[in-house]
Structure 1
Amino acid sequence: MTSYTTFFGDGEHSFRLTPAQIGELEAKCGSGIGMIANRLFSRSNFTQADVTETIRLALIGGGTTPKRAHELIVAYVDGRPLIEPYELAARILERTLLGNPHEDQRK
């Protein structure tokens, strides 16, 4: 699984959806990972949970404690227009499904 590191909220954070986080994401969103990604990639019919849970769970998969991941969501996602965190959620799913195009996959 490929991680993605970028600035979010208060600093640089690593985001990674492991198989365990993918399972939890699917349960929280009531859809398979492909359907969640399809909704985000097409920019239609996505839900708030698709965005917030993707980011929260990827923070945890990237090494952030669950408590801190929740705090970051409350501080920088909840109550904000969904388009702001939307791009981050889409990038996380892109890396999860497609990997990093700049990384040699033959290693």
Structure 2
Amino acid sequence: MNEAITARAWFGDGEHTFTLTDDMIAELERMTGKGIAAIHRQLIELEFSNALLRDIIRLGLIGAGMNPQMAAQICAVYAVNRPMAETFPLAFEIVEARWNGTEGGETAEEVARNVEADWQRFAATHAAETAA
């Protein structure tokens, strides 16, 4: 596992590692029909589907070494019918770890705080645009 692109976060039943390896990115791109840059942009612009969030989390678990069946089971229990305020920050953190790396960067707590702040900022912007 490449620590430079690995995110660590609490998800469902405990702390897990998430890595979007090249193979997992290729699978995500195949599933969505979009490149990783377009997926990253979708997350930033809040133009994503709920299924995309679950797929990022599931593929991140698999990329970090979890058995695919276990990853699917954990996501079915903890990412289905959950508030997007729970799944979005995690999916975004997983993609950001691959996009920007994690070495020499923020602690897990700082990442969580920053992801939450980003989510609040994006949600406020989206709400303002919708109201206009």
TM-score by length of 2: 0.73
Show structure 1 runs of 4+ deviating over 4 A.
none
State how far apart, in whole Å, the 1-side matches of 2:67 and 2:87 are: 20
Q: Does 1:96 align with 2:98?
A: yes
Offset of residue 45 of structure 1? 1.4
The equivalent of 1:64 in structure 2 is: 66
Q: Does 1:76 align with 2:78?
A: yes
State how far apart, in whole Å, the 2-side matches of 1:3 and 1:101 are: 9
State how far apart, in whole Å, the 2-side matches of 1:29 and 1:84 are: 22
The equivalent of 2:111 in structure 1 is: none
| Aligned length, in residue pairs | 102
**Which of the residues 27, 35, 41 maps onto 2:44?**
41
**Deviation digits for residues 41-87 of structure 1, max 9, x if unmatched?**
22x21112221111000000011110110011110011112231100
Offset of residue 5 of structure 1? 1.2
Asked if the contact 1:29–1:49 (Cα under 8 Å) also holds between the matched residues in 2, the reply is no
How is 1:47-58 mapped onto 2 (pairs within 5 angstroms)? 47-58=49-60
The equivalent of 1:30 in structure 2 is: 33
State how far apart, in whole Å, the 2-side matches of 1:32 and 1:11 are: 30
> Does the residue aligned with 2:27 lie in a helix, a strand or coil?
helix
Letter in 2 for 1:53: D
> Does the residue aligned with 1:46 lie in a helix, a strand or coil?
coil
The equivalent of 1:3 in structure 2 is: 6
TM-score by length of 1: 0.88
Offset of residue 3 of structure 1? 0.7
